[in-house]
Amino acid sequence: MDRISCDLLIIGAGSGGLSVAAGAAQMGADVVLLERHKMGGDCLNYGCVPSKALIQSAKTAHAMRTAGQYGITPVEPQVDYAAAKDHVQSVIDAIAPMDSVERFEGFGVRVIQEEGRFISDTEVQAGDHIITARRIVIATGSSPFVPPIPGLDSVPYLTNESLWDLRELPKELIVIGGGPIGMEMAQAHLRLGSKVTVLEGAKALGKDDPEMAAVVLDNLRSEGLEIVEDATASEIRGAEGAIEVETKEGRVFKGTHLLVAVGRKANTASLDLEKAGIETTRTGIKVDDKLKTTNSKVYAIGDVAGGLQFTHVAGYHAGVVVQSAMFGLPAKAKTDHIPWATYTDPELAQVGLTEAQAKEKHGDALDVVRFHYNHNDRAQAERHTKGLIKVMIHKGRPVGASIAGHQAGEHINFWAFALANNLKMRAITSMVSPYPTYGELNKRAAGTYFSPKLFESPMVKRVVRLVQRWLP
Do β-strands 2-11 and 129-138 pair in parallel, antiparallel, or remain unpaired?
parallel
Classify residue 326 as exposed, middle or buried by CB count within 10 Å of its CB (0-12, 13-18, 19+).
middle
> Residues 357, 358, 361, 363: what is their CA dihedral angle, to the nearest 10 degrees?
-120
Contact status, residue 109 vs residue 32, Cβ threshold 8 Å = yes
Q: Characterize 195-215 residue by residue with b for buried, 16 or more Cβ atoms within 10 angstroms of its Cβ, and e for exposed.
A: bbbbbbbeebbeebbeebbeb
Distance CA 414, CA 417 (A): 5
Q: What CA–CA distances, in Å, run from 415 to 210, 212, 252, 264, 362?
A: 20, 16, 43, 28, 19
Distance of alpha carbon 66 from the chain centroid:
28
Residue 407, Ramachandran bin (φ over 0: left; ψ between -120 and 50: alpha; else beta) = left
Annotated binding site for FAD: which residue ranges? 52, 116, 140-142, 303
Measured between alpha carbons, how far is 248 from 261 in angstroms, rounded to an integer? 18
- Residues contributing to the annotated binding site for NAD(+): 177-184, 200, 263
- How many angstroms separate the CA atoms of 19 and 44, rounded? 14
- Report the binding-site residues: 52, 116, 140-142, 177-184, 200, 263, 303
CA distance 303 to 283: 9
- Between CA 260 and CA 262 the distance in angstroms is 6
- Asked if 398 and 425 count as a contact pair (C-beta separation under 8 A), the reply is yes
**How far, in Å, are 185, 340, 380 from residue 312 at the CA level?**
20, 9, 32
Which residues neighbour 322 within 8 Å (Cβ) at sequence distance 6 or greater? 19, 20, 23, 24, 27
CA dist 266 and 33 (Å) reads 19
- The residues pairing with 342 across neighbouring beta strands, listed in sequence order, are 348
Looking at residue 267, the DSSP 8-state letter turns out to be S
